Amino acid sequence: MPGAFEIASSVVTVGRLPEKADMVIPVATVSGVHARIKVKEGNLLVIDLDSTNGTFIDKKRLSPGVVAMVSPGNCLTFGTHL
């Protein structure tokens, strides 16, 4: 599936900079260090790290620093990249 990533550890940092992110998305609308994804007790959690262009679950923009749960079937977007 295009745009799909496998979460292989319990904490993954998402961003544009290879030296600072585990999951690198080399797109201008993705911040250097954009978001953090955690797997906790079988749940997928995401935190926006005060990114410039936002992190979205489906089309709802997350507030920076607030933990949000991603449900099966949700679309997670970083900046404008799906």
pLDDT tens profile 28-79: 999 999 999 999 998 999 999 999 999 999 999 999 999 999 999 999 999 9
Q: Does any domain span residue 4? A: no
Chain centroid, CA 8 distance in Å: 14
Contact (Cβ atoms closer than 8 angstroms) between residue 50 and residue 62: no
Residue 2 placed within a domain = no
pLDDT for 2 equals 52
Q: How many domains does the chain have?
A: 1
User: Is 35 contained in some domain?
Assistant: yes
Task: Tell me the pLDDT tens digit for each residue of 3-23.
Answer: 677 787 899 999 999 999 999
Q: Is residue 37 part of a domain?
A: yes
Output the domain CATH number for residue 35. 2.60.200.20
Q: Which domain holds residue 64?
A: 11-78
Q: What is the pLDDT of residue 6?
A: 77
Question: Which pTM was predicted?
Answer: 0.88
- Contact between 36 and 15 under an 8 Å Cβ cutoff? The reply is no
